[in-house]
């Protein structure tokens, strides 16, 4: 090993020599870390911003679970499972400064969707009430 490609580091009191030509960079992640996902879709690759929400430590296929923002208005939250078999997705570390999203705006959009769904539920419950009241006698007489 030539001197320019050789490095010596001390790990827990043990000196280790390694060759820079064959050394690999190891990224470390923890739950809550912001990440970038390179996602392949129908029109090429897109960078999505997300956060690590879980490490699924399966014996055969350990996976990193990432929640990320998707869609034109960045308020659709999706989940991706990144593992050794992931073909059309890559993960990379990023800083919070790289993520250009407005947290309050996204929360307002999600709250609006929640209210819309609650309104749909109220309408369905009212339809059911009217159905039971107006049609109950008719269907009760059939047999």
User: Is residue 1 a part of any domain in this protein?
Assistant: no
Do 139 and 80 belong together in one domain? no
Q: If you average pLDDT over every residue of the chain, what do you get?
A: 81
Same domain, 69 and 128: no
Please check whether residue 10 lies inside any domain of the structure.
Answer: no
Domain count, the chain: 2
The pLDDT value given to residue 74: 60
Q: pTM of the predicted model, to two decimals?
A: 0.62
Among 90, 45, 83, CA closest to 65: 83
- The DSSP code sequence of 29-95 is --TT-EEEEEEEETTEEEEEEEEEEEEE--SS--EEEEEEEESTTS-EEEEEEE-TT--SEEEEE--
pLDDT of residue 103: 76
Examine the domain organization and report whether 128 and 142 are in the same domain: yes
- For the segment 26-76, what is each residue's pLDDT rounded down to a tens digit? 678 889 888 888 888 788 888 888 888 998 888 888 889 998 887 656 667
Write down which residue in 81, 98, 115 finishes a domain.
98
pLDDT score of 123:
97
C-alpha dihedral, 15 to 19 to 24 to 29, nearest 10°:
20
CATH number at residue 37: 2.30.30
- Give the pLDDT of residue 140: 66
Residue 67 forms part of a structural domain: yes
Q: Which domain holds residue 94?
A: 27-98
Among 63, 78, 98, the domain boundary falls at 98
For residue 8, the surrounding DSSP H or E stretch is: strand 6-11
Residues 65 and 124 in one domain: no
- The verdict on residue 52 lying in a domain is yes
- Residues 80, 43, single domain; the answer is yes
**Per mean pLDDT, which of 11-25, 105-119, 129-143 is the most reliable?**
105-119
- Same domain for 67 and 40: yes
Q: What pLDDT does 2 receive?
A: 63
With bands split at pLDDT 50, 70 and 90, how would you rate the model's confidence at 121? very high
Spatial contact of 34 and 49, defined as CB atoms under 8 Å apart: yes
Q: For position 43, what pLDDT does the model report?
A: 83
């Amino acid at each position: 090993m030539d001197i320019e490609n050789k490095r010596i580091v001390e790990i827990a009191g043990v000196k280790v020599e390694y060759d820079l030509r064959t050394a690999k960079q190891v990224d470390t992640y923890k739950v809550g870390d912001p990440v970038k996902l390179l996602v392949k879709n129908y029109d090429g690759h897109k960078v999505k911003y997300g956060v690590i929400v879980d490490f699924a430590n399966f014996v055969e296929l350990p996976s990193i679970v990432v929640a990320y923002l998707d869609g034109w208005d960045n308020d659709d939250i999706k989940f991706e499972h990144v593992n050794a078999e992931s073909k059309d997705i890559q993960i990379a570390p990023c800083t919070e400064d790289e993520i250009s999203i407005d947290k309050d705006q996204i929360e307002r959009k999600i709250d609006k969707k929640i209210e819309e769904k609650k309104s749909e539920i109220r309408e369905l419950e009212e339809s059911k009430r009217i159905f039971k009241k107006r049609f109950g006698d008719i269907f009760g007489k059939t047999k």
